Amino acid sequence: MIIFNHSHRFRHCVLYSVLAGAMLVSQPAAAVESMDDPMLPQLSAPVSRFKEFTNRASEVALQAMSMIGIRYKMGGNSPETGLDCSGLVRHVFKQAWGTVLPRTAEEISRAGEQVDRHELRPGDLVFFNTLRRSFSHVGIYLGNNKFIHSPSAGGQVRIEDMDVAYWKARFNGARRINEPESSN
């Protein structure tokens, strides 16, 4: 049995807020595509890639947000029984993109490509030293220095600010997982 401290209305408001934010981000790209400008051929490929990334990152963010309130369980792999930090990340990427990631935060820290903190985008993975060893905790970056994670025993999946002193001091790095190419 899953117990949620958050009402369904709250969860829906959060999901709609993320979706609205993603739509706002993608509007400038749509506006650029509709301009009658001689630079358009040079801009269209980067704009198209940006829109595609935004849409894919939104899938990851929305899937992650749907997990808010799921209880923490050490070694947990499913929302029904509880999730640990890497279980959350694995579940979200499997549901959003069909991507299977390694089991532990440390193993996941070697997947994808390294990203500098100032280059973080929604959907990137953020890693922290919470057990006196590097890459012992992982979460999913949502934007505006916020990330979602499954914290620890007694906790639930929640959103936190990376600028809080605890997280800022323990930040280890970030990775970007690229969605597998479509076979179509």
CA-wise closest residue to 72 among 84, 63, 89, 64:
84
Give yes or no for a contact between 125 and 172, defined as CB atoms under 8 angstroms apart.
Answer: no
Retrieve residue 65's tokens.
């947000």
Q: What is the pTM of this model?
A: 0.72
53: pLDDT strictly greater than 80: no
Burial class (CB in 10 A: 0-12, 13-18, 19+), 17: exposed
* Closest CA relative to residue 13, chosen from 56, 50, 68: 68
Give residue 32's pLDDT: 38
Quick one: fold of 1-179?
endopeptidase fold (from Nostoc punctiforme) (3.90.1720)
Task: State pLDDT tens for residues 134-164.
Answer: 999 999 999 999 999 999 989 999 999 999 9
Query: By three-state DSSP, how is residue 114 classified?
Result: strand
What ranges in 66-114 are assigned the alpha helix state H? 85-97, 105-108
Contact between 120 and 126 (Cβ < 8 Å): yes
Share of the chain above pLDDT 90, in %: 64
Top pLDDT among 168 and 10 is at 168
Active site residues: 85, 137, 149
Give residue-wise pLDDT tens across range 64-104.
999 999 999 999 999 999 999 999 999 999 999 999 999 99
Would the pLDDT of 34 be above 60? no
pLDDT at position 58: 83
Per-domain residue ranges for the chain?
1-179
**Does the pLDDT at position 109 exceed 90?**
yes
Q: What is the pLDDT of residue 180?
A: 76
